[in-house]
């Protein structure tokens, strides 16, 4: 076991050629990041998850109710034993051939069967109230941690590596790492979205980056990376809350602010300042070494994810310009359908109802306002 640990913590992998672990030992004059500090993130991640449950139950939910956000879920598909058996045992997305067979068997038109399957899929989706509570929790955390990060960066002012650890930096790093660990586990119970795999990769890369930068004593650069990426997240969650509360103009404004901040920080400041520092300036100062390559490759992977999400944001913005409103987020957890799909053709038997509280769509809580980004 000792041999494995010695191999894993090999100085030539983790540190530049002129630095040893002995140089980074804590002394009376200075404290440096130690790998064992990160163990604290696991119990703290559990505590953050519990705080979230309490926050959503006793703070976010009353706020949602005060804004007249109801706990109504999507429209329930009418009971049908044959379609239910196909849905649970065969497929949730029947092809054209199967739809035609079911149409003859039930004497339903194909459109009604398609609508039933959409309603049945959406039946398992969370209510607007649940989504509002989740967004309010994330908004509160992102706003707090971003504010704390900005205050910390103002005090340090420099992006040196191998710099003594401060109490503020230690707290900030452990809090961020704990939050991402809590997201790693809670995303399996949270609202499922189309980019579940991308978000899982993002959380995994974030955890590796935080861990690598802390162990390598590149925590100041890591702090800037975290702060830049937190800057737009609070605005996105605020836009979602405005959407769920049907504050349409506020939603549009917040989304515009989010898009501007996101693209400026992640396609401008991050590559031109942070990546330039970690790739080129640090090369001249300490030179490349194995963990340096890993750290920078992870940063480049994050930049790739930033480009992907920027593409989605620009796509939504283009739709907004063409339609005169912010359209549905491409990461939406709700399946939408066009108005003509959800309208019953004349002369057909109304096997399924498609309107709930005056809302057209396959889901009873699909918002119809100018901002519809059910993320």
Residue ranges per structural domain of the chain: 34-66+127-323, 81-124
According to DSSP, residue 270 is labeled I
219-244 and 196-215 helices, crossing angle to 10°:
150
Say what the pLDDT of residue 306 is. Answer: 94
CB atoms < 10 A from the CB of 99, how many? Answer: 16
Say what the pLDDT of residue 341 is. Answer: 39
Instruction: Find where tokens 């000792």 sit.
Output: 2
Say what the pLDDT of residue 9 is. Answer: 84
- State both tokens at 289: 């070494």
Say what the pLDDT of residue 158 is. Answer: 54
219-244 and 290-323 helices, crossing angle to 10°:
20
Q: Which residues pair with 326 in a beta bridge?
A: 371
N-to-C CA span, the chain: 46
Say what the pLDDT of residue 345 is. Answer: 39
Say what the pLDDT of residue 325 is. Answer: 56
Say what the pLDDT of residue 120 is. Answer: 86
pTM value?
0.77
Say what the pLDDT of residue 343 is. Answer: 37
- CA 189 from chain centre, in angstroms, equals 14
Say what the pLDDT of residue 332 is. Answer: 46
Say what the pLDDT of residue 70 is. Answer: 80
With CA atoms as reference, report the closest residue to 135 among 52, 246, 44, 255: 52
Say what the pLDDT of residue 73 is. Answer: 67
Dihedral of CA 62/66/71/74: which sign?
negative
CATH topology of domain 81-124: Arc Repressor Mutant, subunit A (1.10.10)
Distance CA(221)–CA(265), nearest Å, equals 15
Residue ranges of the chain with per-residue pLDDT less than 50: 327-328, 330-372, 374-375
According to DSSP, residue 161 is labeled S
Are 232 and 238 spatial neighbours (Cβ–Cβ below 8 Å)?
no
């Amino acid at each position: 076991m000792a041999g494995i640990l010695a191999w894993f913590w090999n100085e030539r992998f983790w540190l530049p050629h002129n630095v040893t672990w002995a140089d980074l030992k804590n002394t009376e004059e200075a404290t440096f990041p130690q790998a064992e500090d990160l163990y604290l993130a696991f119990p703290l991640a559990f505590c953050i998850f519990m705080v979230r449950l309490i926050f959503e139950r006793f703070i976010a939910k009353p706020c949602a109710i005060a804004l007249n956000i109801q706990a109504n879920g999507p429209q329930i598909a009418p009971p049908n034993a044959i379609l239910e058996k196909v849905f649970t045992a065969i497929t949730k997305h029947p092809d054209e051939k199967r739809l035609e067979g079911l149409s003859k068997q039930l004497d339903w038109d194909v459109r009604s069967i398609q609508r039933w399957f959409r309603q049945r899929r959406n039946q398992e989706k969370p209510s607007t109230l649940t989504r509002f509570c989740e967004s309010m929790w994330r908004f509160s955390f992102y706003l707090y941690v971003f504010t704390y990060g900005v205050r910390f960066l103002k005090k340090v002012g420099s992006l040196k590596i191998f710099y003594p650890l401060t109490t503020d930096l230690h707290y900030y790093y452990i809090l961020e790492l704990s939050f991402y660990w809590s997201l790693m586990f809670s995303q399996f119970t949270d609202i499922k979205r189309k980019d579940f795999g991308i978000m899982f990769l993002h959380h995994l890369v974030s955890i590796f980056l935080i861990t690598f930068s802390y162990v390598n004593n590149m925590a100041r650069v890591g702090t800037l990376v975290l702060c830049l990426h937190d800057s737009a997240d609070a605005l996105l969650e605020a836009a979602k809350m405005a959407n769920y509360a049907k504050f349409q103009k506020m939603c549009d404004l917040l989304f515009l602010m989010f898009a501007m901040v996101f693209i400026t920080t992640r396609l401008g400041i991050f590559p031109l300042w942070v990546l330039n520092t970690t790739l080129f300036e640090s090369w001249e100062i300490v030179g490349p070494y194995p963990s340096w390559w890993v750290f920078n490759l992870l940063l480049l992977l994050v930049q790739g994810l930033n480009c992907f999400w920027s593409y989605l944001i620009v796509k939504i913005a283009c739709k907004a310009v063409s339609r005169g409103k912010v359209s549905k987020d491409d990461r939406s957890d709700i399946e939408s359908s066009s108005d003509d799909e959800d309208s019953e053709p004349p002369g057909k038997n109304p096997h399924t109802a498609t309107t709930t509280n005056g809302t057209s769509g396959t889901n009873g809580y699909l918002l119809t306002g100018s901002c519809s980004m059910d993320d």
